[in-house]
Amino acid sequence: MSLLPYTRFACALLGAVTAATAAAAPFAYVPNQKSSSISVIDTAGDTLVRTLTAQGKLGDRVQAIDVDARGTTLYVVDAGHEQLLAVDIATDRMLHTVAIGADAEGVRLAPDGKTLAVCAEGQHQVLLVNAATFTIGARIKVRGRNPEHCEFSPDGAFLVTSNEGSSDLDVIDLATRSSIDTIATAGHPRGAAFLPHSQMLYVAQESANGVDLIDFGARTKVLTIATAERAAGVSAAPNGQRVYVANGSGSVSVIDVASHVVIREISVGKRPWNMALTPDGKKLYVANGRSNSVSVIDTGKLAVVAEIAVGELPWGVVIPSSKPRGD
């Protein structure tokens, strides 16, 4: 009997499974600072489906995380153990570790997926880590103080750090691996986000209760948009039309990019911090640090549609391909 019909059926079935997997809603990953864990949320049903611990090896101060574009590997700042680690999502297995020293917080994967930038806040420097070999390729001193968040420019040529201690941003040229400029901000910069495929950068200003709009090409602040109190996290919509700002006072400000006006204030949990949008921009996931929860905002309705319990003191949220990966 010929096996050809069965082979064709198997290939068709594999293709259907692959297509269904590619079309499936992504997972959202939430690092819990005091639970030594990462909560996994299925964004299709907004339910908690797993808890990752790197097989019990995560320390007691899980800070920022990032994820590769395929959603297979998490990169985790484990401040309790003073290391950066890579975790295989499917098996919850630790793949790599590298020592990064004390008081590191932010981490970002470059648009090309080859380099990780770690903001070592207490060391006043940025570490560039090879994502494949997990070796440190450069230690770059910043001009400001206490760099907390790192953001790559959309073209991957520069890195920006938000410096809490000096209320400015460092501009790092990745070709020369050096800080080439600083940009003054309104006060206590925290989270930041570029508009997709743009030189416009939005930076939360905690003590100024607003968000700075930075013309990155011109290296200058354009204006400060007032928000609710203690602005902390920023996410930009994939279509570039809105910017969302998490405020520590318990809300998310929705900014219309064209008019620079806050068009809605949405109440969420206690001390919301860092956030992430689904790739289609239809839902925003907000980590509520003091509520031990994640609020889900429908960006069409501009309303909270779910609140999901997670671990203790969630730091933020990442979702695969929820931010631009180059032009």
Q: What's the chain's average pLDDT?
A: 92
CA dihedral defined by 308, 310, 312, 316, rounded to 10 degrees? -80
Q: How is residue 225 written in tokens?
A: 């948009």
pLDDT at 24: 75
Q: State the Cα–Cα distance between residues 59 and 94, nearest whole angstrom.
A: 13
Residue 6: the pLDDT is 37
Q: Is 41's pLDDT higher than 80?
A: yes
Q: Is residue 49 part of a domain?
A: yes
Q: Using the predicted structure, report yes or no on whether residue 316 has a pLDDT greater than 60.
A: yes
Query: Is 317 inside a domain boundary?
Result: no
At 25, the pLDDT band (50, 70, 90 cuts) reads confident
Q: Which two tokens stand for residue 87?
A: 């975790």
Mean pLDDT over 296-301 rounds to 98
Buried b (16+ CB within 10 A) or exposed e, 275-291: bbbbeebebbbbbbbeb
- What pLDDT sits at residue 325? 45
When pLDDT is averaged across residues 221-233 and rounded to a whole number, the result is 98
Structural domain containing residue 146 = 26-309
Task: Reply yes or no on whether the pLDDT at 81 is more than 50.
Answer: yes
In a domain, 195, yes or no: yes
Could you report the per-residue pLDDT of 164-193, keeping only the tens digit for each? 999 999 999 999 999 999 999 999 999 999
Q: Is residue 141 part of a domain?
A: yes
Residues 22, 16: contact at Cβ < 8 Å? no
Whether residue 11 is contained in a domain is answered as no
Nearest to 276 by CA among 327, 317, 226, 230: 317
**pLDDT by residue (tens digit) across 187-217?**
999 999 999 999 999 999 999 999 999 999 9
Report CA dihedral (264, 266, 270, 274) to the nearest 10 degrees.
-70
Rounded Cα distance between 275 and 322, Å, is 10
- The per-residue pLDDT for range 125-163, each reduced to its tens digit, is 999 999 999 999 999 999 999 999 999 999 999 999 999
Does the pLDDT of residue 112 top 60, yes or no?
A: yes
Instruction: Report d(CA 56, CA 93) in Å as an integer.
Output: 9
- Specify if 327 maps to a domain: no
Residue 90 maps to which CATH number?
2.130.10.10
Percent of the chain with pLDDT over 90: 90
- Determine contact, residues 271/288, Cβ cutoff 8 Å: yes
In a domain, 21, yes or no: no
85 is a domain residue: yes
Cβ contacts of 54 within 8 Å, gap of 6 or more: 76, 85, 87, 92, 93, 94
Q: Is the pLDDT of residue 319 over 90?
A: yes
Instruction: Look at residue 7 in the predicted model and tell me its pLDDT.
Output: 38
* Domains: count for the chain: 1
**pLDDT of amino acid 323:** 54
